[in-house]
Amino acid sequence: MYHRALQVGVFGLDAAVAEGVRSVEAPERFEVSVVEGAWPAGAGLDECDIALVPSPDAAGLPHRARLVLCASVDAVAELDDETLSAFLDVWTEPLRPALAAFRFRRLLEREKEGADLALARQYLDTAIDSIPELVWFKDARGAHLKVNDAFCETVGKTKEQVEGRGHYYIWDITPDEYAQGEYVCLESEEETMRSNTTLLFDEQVKTKRGMRQFKTYKSPLFDDDGTAMGTVGVAHDVTDLGNVATELDILINAMPFAIVVEDTDGVILNVNHVTERYFRVKRDDVIGGKIKHWRRIVFGDELADAREAKETCEFTASIAGTETTFELNKAPIVDVFGNVTGQLRIYRDITTERMLEKRAAEAARTDYLTGLYNRRYFYERLEEIPRDEPITIVTLDLDDFKDINDRYGHAAGDFALVETARILRETFPDGLVVRWGGDEFVVALPSDRDTRDVCASVQAMIERLHRKSLASSESYPFTASAGIATGLPSSIDELIRRSDEALYRAKRQGPSLCRADGDES
């Protein structure tokens, strides 16, 4: 694939900077050479792809290099936005070799990301322009974001004219014509995004060659949060096609999903290329066989039977040793008289989609730093506990936690929170351990245990936590205090208040103490 050769110049800077830059290993497909020189660099700037310079005056010099300014914090603070925008990056001094290496490694990572993105764009452009069918990508408002050559040839416009524009301009129709005709483009885009699945449409479109009939597959495009943010369409002009089998073959092989075509007797008539790739099968080995036999080979008896009667379903199967989640949609194939002549099976790989949904759900109920459940999930879980079964609440927080952050930095504070969470989980593996907020933690425990035993366990845990902080080089020694209360889940806020009161009694008596509700000793 691509190969990038970068010449990096280090001009008028301390030798430590060049040492750090040279120590960085070039990313894959990159070749990096480093040259040093005095400042001003003169023609040397024009020989470099990237140049590290000590003066902002370099921005005004004629050169081909992209510049990285290495200057003091005070010098950088005096520069205006226009001057700063002339630089690829700004590194503030002093620059030790390790820091220079760190910054240069990050710079190379950005270079590689840019190169990989350009390659991915080339892959996409080449792929869709190689497809004889019309291909387009739209946003949720209906603006065309990208189209292929076949699309441009059909509408008689260039990509520059099409991209960013809407349906009426591209197809040269007025809203009145659209309302009076049988066009379905705009409505089908909305239907596709609402359905969150791939749909097939018959569409009539006015082109430079007159009205044309298209078979169009439209699929939703999903944002990181799982919402539909647009659509991708693949359309084949079937106006002049008289052979239904040829038409179907062209369509299914243009689809990004696995498609299996069967007749009314369950004999496989056709599969597309994605089916071969998804299920590690050869087209010639599959066609002519029974769909029931094929399903059992690919998915196993249990999954095959479970999906037999369902038109749409979701399932997970092991394909070549990899757990993959599929969405299956079945649609009948009918002839011109409306008689069913076969069936389409469309398999969509939704493994990544479901993984992102799971991550989003976990993020909503857990604390990012400690991995513990959060307060919101705590109340949700309590709704599942019978109202007449008492529970024990332990409230714990770190003593003088603000001083740790103020004196030793937030890294030390974060270490203290993470260690507290870990030891709490180990101490109460059967309890619901929650980061309540800040440096405060709450543990909900079944009530079938003696409060004194719980207090003893918490006291031992607090002492263990203190010993851990004494032994660690990453944290300032710290202590914790705790309070305990027992009652019914229906009065959870009252339980937390009582455990808080016990906690503050413990704090008043000294650090590293645990007190139970009602214990005044």
**What one-character-per-residue DSSP string does 376-414 give?**
HHHHHHHTTS-TTS-EEEEEEEETTHHHHHHHH-HHHHH
The structure tokens listed for 437 are 């907020």
- How distant, in Å, are the alpha carbons of 105, 371, 466 from that of 415? 27, 13, 13
123 Cβ contact list (under 8 Å, min separation 6): none
Query: Which residues, including other chains, have CB under 8 Å from residue 109's CB and lie 6 or more apart?
Result: 27
pLDDT at residue 281, rounded to an integer: 86
For the chain, which residues score pLDDT lower than 50?
Answer: 182-184, 242-243, 309
Phi (first) and psi of residue 255, to 5 degrees: -85, 145
Give the number of other CB atoms < 10 A from CB of residue 22.
17
Question: What pLDDT score was predicted for residue 13?
Answer: 94
Integer Cα distance of 151 and 167 in angstroms:
13
The edge-to-edge listing of strands for the beta sheet with 268-271 is 268-271, 258-263, 340-349, 322-334, 312-319
Please tell me the predicted confidence (pLDDT) of residue 178. Answer: 58
Q: What local confidence, expressed as pLDDT, does residue 185 receive?
A: 65
Name, in order, each residue with C-beta under 8 angstroms of 100's C-beta and a sequence gap of 6 or more.
16, 17, 19, 20, 21, 91
Quote the pLDDT of residue 301. 62
Q: What is the pLDDT of residues 254-307, one digit of tens each?
A: 888 888 999 989 899 898 988 888 888 888 888 888 888 888 777 776 655 555
Q: Of 473, 242, 431, 460, give the one whose Cα is nearest residue 336.
A: 242
432 touches 381 (CB < 8 A): yes
pLDDT at site 303: 59
Q: What is the pLDDT of residue 48?
A: 94
How far is Cα 368 from Cα 370, in angstroms, rounded to an integer?
6
